[in-house]
A = this chain, B = another copy of it.
Amino acid sequence: MAKRKTLRSDLAWATPERIFVKGHDLCDELLGKLSLGDMAFLMLTDRVPTAQESIVFNALALTLVEHGLTPSAIVTRMTLAGAPEAMQAAVAAGLCGLGSVFVGSMETAARVLQEALPDPKAKADLDALARDIVAAHVGRKHAIPGIGHHFHKPVDPRAPKLFEIAQANGFSGRYVELMQKIAHEAERTTGKTLPVNATGAIGAIASELGMPWSIVRGVGVMARAIGLVGHIREELANPLAREIKTRSEEEATSHRR
């Protein structure tokens, strides 16, 4: 039998009388004192946020909670219609689609920034980095993550607002600067209007907060879980799912009947 690795987790542990989360006594130190968003920050960084970090992180997360009848919202509502006794599975189904197309772009934006600038305090020529990033994406015909928006044009209003909040709280550093330079370089190269969008702003500001890119998508996943519970509440009161299903099925098969 192969030599075994010892299992170890440091997120939470409990005795019959006490529960610890990330080293804090849940009852004595967290309940009634920490907000849900600050708890999320603690789970993602091992630290209770400062007042400034809290404002900035909560704004990032808030941006992603709710954006109307998105595919994930429709999925959650359709799933609830078939299994109303398993609300948790309806939220789960809705989360399954938060992949490369929608929420994934904020992970990709953060990755591009962090790979270009592994140490945000090291010397670096941001203009040259932006040129290289744009050229590499254009050369491979890859979309540049975090810029442009098909609906919110010319400017995605969330991006300047998030940058303003980051600036006011001391988190507008070189990742934000590089993200903006990427957008400018992309506009210069393509001749199109391609300002930083919400996912680009989130990717940049999450990098300023010290979050590794590999966990950035998680901010979107946890935020959307909150929004999807809101859709469950509305679907219970005013159902849409069956109507969408009936119309879609009738139209899609009308040529055969």
Contact A88 B14 (CB under 8 A): no
> CA–CA, A52 to B86, complex, Å?
31
Query: Residue-by-residue, is A58-96 near B (CB-CB < 8 Å gives 1, otherwise 0)?
Result: 110111011111111111001111111111111111111
| Copies of this chain, whole number | 4
A136 in the interface (beta carbon within 8 A): no
* Interface class of chain A by DSSP: helix
* Chain A interface residues (CB < 8 Å from chain B): 1-2, 4-22, 26-27, 30-32, 34-40, 43-44, 54-55, 58-59, 61-63, 65-75, 78-104, 151-153, 155, 157-158, 161-162, 164-165, 168, 214-215, 217-219, 221-223, 225-227, 229-234, 236, 238, 240-253, 255-257
CB distance from A231 to the nearest CB of B (A): 7
Residue in A62, A155, A158 whose Cβ sees the most chain B Cβ within 10 Å: A62
Q: Do A69 and B99 have beta carbons less than 8 Å apart?
A: no
